[in-house]
Structure 1
């Protein structure tokens, strides 16, 4: 015979915990997005330099990729900060970060030394950022966002 155990919760405690979670989620969104916003602005200010870096890695259409990268980083970062289309953009930035890490922090192709170690550290930091974006894609933007208030309530008649 199965038994069910019920736990009583204090509604005020639940609301307080939810508020803290929403606040932390908002701060987390801003923190993870700031790097992309700053990087996107920097890339727009130096599209030629960004295109040269892309060309150096042997990727096609470096000018187009430089512009697309800057737009994704800046636009995606802003979307994450305001919490608009957060799940989709978090997934897009996770995929972008994985691809960029593969091409630009390919420590496995470098001899041991400072450059190898530096790129390995950056690669692993990017893996952590990808993890953050995947969690954001899973839970959404939270209450303090453009996405948050968009809950539709229907009333049975």
Structure 2
């Protein structure tokens, strides 16, 4: 079971670690897009969200307070869903559909990260982690 959970953590973390890398290698382009969506201090927001995705992804991957890492990812995803994928503001049907898809994808990932949080904070024997949970449910 420990190996299955580790494989799941690796696969889950790849998304957020690669996203963090993109935030740092494509900062200007992402900041321009964020600014067009009305995000204040767009460049700082891109760098900050990239750092949080990276820290959260590493936390889950390595099993270092993975419960906290899961919560960090959940918060960033929720803020991103609302600020970057506000489909309710779109007037073009195609753009609205695209933003709705991204919004719903982010909400589903928030749900997954909350389940990971509960898993890490509740299970007594996590196995193959560096630290135990920070929270206790």
Shorter-normalised TM-score: what interval? 0.7 to 0.9
Superposed counterparts of 1:2-151, under 5 Å: 20=1, 22-111=2-91, 113-140=93-120, 142-148=126-132
1:112 CA drift (Å): 5.5
The residue matched to 2:21 in structure 1 has which SS? helix
Aligned 8 A contact 1:93 1:133 in 2: yes
Q: Distance in 2 between matches of 1:123 and 1:49?
A: 20
Q: Distance in 2 between matches of 1:66 and 1:48?
A: 9
Question: More deviation in 58-67 or 93-102?
Answer: 58-67
Q: Distance in 2 between matches of 1:25 and 1:108?
A: 37
Gaps of 5+ in 2: 133-137
Q: Distance in 1 between matches of 2:70 and 2:118?
A: 9
1:63 CA drift (Å): 2.0
Q: How many residues align?
A: 129
Aligned 8 A contact 1:51 1:66 in 2: yes
Instruction: Report the structure, 1 or 2, having the larger helix content.
Output: 2
Extract structure 1 runs of 4+ deviating beyond 4 A.
Answer: none
Under a length normalisation based on structure 2, what TM-score does the superposition of the two structures give?
A: 0.84
